[in-house]
Amino acid sequence: MTTTVQDQDRQERAANATIERSAAYYRLKADVEDFYYHEADLLDDRRFRDWLELLTEDVSYFMPIRRNVKFGQQAARENTKRGEGISWFDEDKWTLTKRVEQILTGVHFAEEPLSRITHMVSNVQIGGARPDIGTARELDVTSRFLVYQNRVEYETYIFVGRRNDTLRLTDAGWKIARREILLEQNILLAKNLTTFF
């Protein structure tokens, strides 16, 4: 388990390597953007069960807590780590499914009545393609998100940050195999995180 996490972290760093901006790159990028827009539609249309279908069975969904650390320690200590201690989310598909089931009970009062939510996705870049850009079955993709939530009457929250994804091509199209959500906040400035990112 530990080895896997470390391997994946190495992959993440490798994802920063620049891929040549070829026609194949831009075709693939357009596919990925389309995928993200579809994902945002599913979430904002509250089609949560359909959204779960976009996640691989072995998905890892992670949102670290961001901490104020001394200069030079950012890489090592700024974010809580996947697979250890406490983060905002460090989840598998079982837990994410539970979250969806909870909303669908109709008595999850933190989402009843449902919030109005819009997901914006931008700055999409492919950082890694395996086996290669022409025949990619797995991609490392970075993006930015802006999530607007309005709840009941006056409650409004804006969540802004970055996502580092690994997408996997399946018979049903691209799926999210791994997601890291970097919310640009230290102390969470929202009473709840009831939405998916």
Partner 1 sequence: MPLRNDLDQLVDVKGGFISREIFVDADIYRQELDKVFTRAWLLVGHESLVPNPGDFYTSRMGEESVILCRDKKSEIHVFLNSCRHRGMKVCRYEQGNASLFTCPYHSWTYTTDGKLQGVPLHRTLYDGVLDREANSLVSVAKLCNYKGSIWATWDKDAPDFLTYLGDAKIHLDQALDCRDGREGGSEVIGVHKWVFPANWKFAAENFLGDTYHNPSHRSVDLIGIGPSAAAGKKGRRDDELEKAEHVWISFPAGHGVHSAIQPEANEYTESFLDNPILEKYFRHCFEERKRRLGEGARLLPFVGTIFPNTSYHGRQPRGLCAWHPHSPTSTEGWRFFLVDKDAPKEAKEYLRRYYMRYSGPAGMTEQDDMENWLYATAASTGTVARRYPFNYQQSMGAYVTDHPLGGDVSKQVTEQIARGFYRRWTTYMQGGDWHELLGSPAGKRQAAE
**Contacting residues toward partner 1, per CB under 8 A:** 63, 65, 67-70, 73, 77, 80, 84-91, 94-95, 98-99, 101-102, 105, 107-111, 152, 155, 186-194
- Residue 27: CB minimum distance to partner 1, A: 37
Closest CA to 100 of 35, 54, 165, 58: 54
Adjacency order of strands within the sheet including 116-130:
89-91, 55-63, 173-183, 155-170, 138-151, 116-130
Nearer residue to partner 1 within complex by CB, 34 or 101: 101
Nearer residue to partner 1 within complex by CB, 97 or 143: 97
- Residue 29: CB minimum distance to partner 1, A: 31
- Residue 64: CB minimum distance to partner 1, A: 10
Contacts for 147 with CB less than 8 Å, ≥ 6 apart? 117, 118, 119, 120, 158, 159, 160, 195, 197
- Residue 111: CB minimum distance to partner 1, A: 8
Alpha carbon distance 195, 77 (integer Å)? 26
Nearer residue to partner 1 within complex by CB, 109 or 131: 109
